[in-house]
Amino acid sequence: MELIDGKKLSKKIRKELATKVKDSNLKPNLAVILCGDDEASKVYVRIKSKACEEVGIDFEEYHLSNTTTQDELTDLIDKLNEDEKIDGILLQFPLPKGLNYDSAAERISPDKDVDGFNPYNVGRLTIGKPKFIPCTPYGIMKMFEEYKIKLEGKKVVIVGRSNIVGKPMAQCLLLESATVTICHSKTRDLKKELIDADIIIAAVGKRNIIKADMVKDGAIVIDVGTNRDENGKLCGDVDFENVSSKASYITPNPGGVGPMTVAMLMNNVVLACERRMK
């Protein structure tokens, strides 16, 4: 069993991006909109701010109150869309009650949609001509690349059908000629679907949903889930202790996919800046 070290790979990617920004004299700028007082969201924004500083990306935070209206949020997004020095706009999820995330995210210009959630960018990924790839699937694809894991013809089972991970992950894998199955809460026999999988990607947010008896010997297991155990300790969707003895490659959680998501956000901002400069 080999650990796929997302933390180490993330550092490598951020270092390469910092060199590119410096050597190419780029001036990338990321605007992050944070609505309300969700503590987890504040932590995520701080992590992104620190990563921006490391890479050389200017970071602008717009912190709106819990009482912000949809029109006020839309007005801010429109203003940032028109600001030529802003390369990327990120709307931190979740939003306070009463605000529609999908409607707001669709308002972000496709050229500044570094999360890759605008329907235009979703459509481009679907037809195999991506402009921006959502950061978590992109990070996982980079892991496969770094560890020389071949995808062509492999049976990949994704557990979770979210617009953030499951669906775009499937599109990324199809572009590499993998055979993809997506499982979800209505899947009748999850074990039956998983047991023959060459690669399992778990992204449902349910602790230990992937157990050792569901995984064949030598499978590759990617754990995207974010949960907490009875002691409040961060953990994933995979029963790591037991599954790791069967897997050929496995991501730790934390320290696996999470850091890669941030690294690929930085990559998308730098990419947006390069396109603007051209």
Per-residue pLDDT reduced to its tens digit, 200-232: 999 999 999 999 999 999 999 999 999 998 888
225 domain residue, yes or no: yes
151 and 93 within one domain: no
Q: In total, how many domains does the chain have?
A: 2
Active site (annotated) includes residue 92:
yes
93 and 148 within one domain: no
159 and 82 within one domain: no
| Four-residue CA torsion sign, 253, 255, 261, 262 | positive
Q: Which residue has the tokens 């912000």?
A: 68
Q: Please identify, among 109, 144, 173, the residue that sits at the C-terminal boundary of a domain.
A: 109
Regions of the chain with pLDDT less than 50: none
114 domain residue, yes or no: no
d(CA 16, CA 140) in angstroms, rounded, equals: 18
11 domain residue, yes or no: no
184 domain residue, yes or no: yes
Q: Give the CATH number for residue 156.
A: 3.40.50.720
200 and 103 within one domain: no
Please give the structure tokens belonging to residue 275: 């396109």
Question: If we measure between CA atoms, which residue out of 38, 55, 26 comes closest to residue 265?
Answer: 55
96 domain residue, yes or no: yes
262 domain residue, yes or no: no
250 and 146 within one domain: yes
d(CA 164, CA 70) in angstroms, rounded, equals: 22
65 and 141 within one domain: no
Domain that holds residue 140: 135-257
Q: Give the CATH number for residue 53.
A: 3.40.50.10860
At residue 35, the pLDDT reads 97
At residue 128, the pLDDT reads 96
Q: Is 187 exposed, middle or buried (0-12, 13-18, 19+ CB in 10 A)?
A: middle
Give the active site residue among 48, 112, 131, 154: 48
56 and 92 within one domain: yes
Q: At what angle do helices 6-23 and 39-55 cross, to 10 degrees?
A: 50
At residue 263, the pLDDT reads 98
153 and 97 within one domain: no
Q: Confirm if 258 and 264 have CB atoms less than 8 A apart.
A: no
225 and 161 within one domain: yes
Active site (annotated) includes residue 115:
yes
251 and 155 within one domain: yes
Give the active site residue among 87, 111, 113, 115: 115
189 and 82 within one domain: no
212 domain residue, yes or no: yes
Give the active site residue among 87, 92, 131, 198: 92
169 domain residue, yes or no: yes
Q: Please identify, among 109, 125, 144, the residue that sits at the C-terminal boundary of a domain.
A: 109
At residue 138, the pLDDT reads 98
d(CA 77, CA 83) in angstroms, rounded, equals: 10
At residue 232, the pLDDT reads 87
253 and 143 within one domain: yes
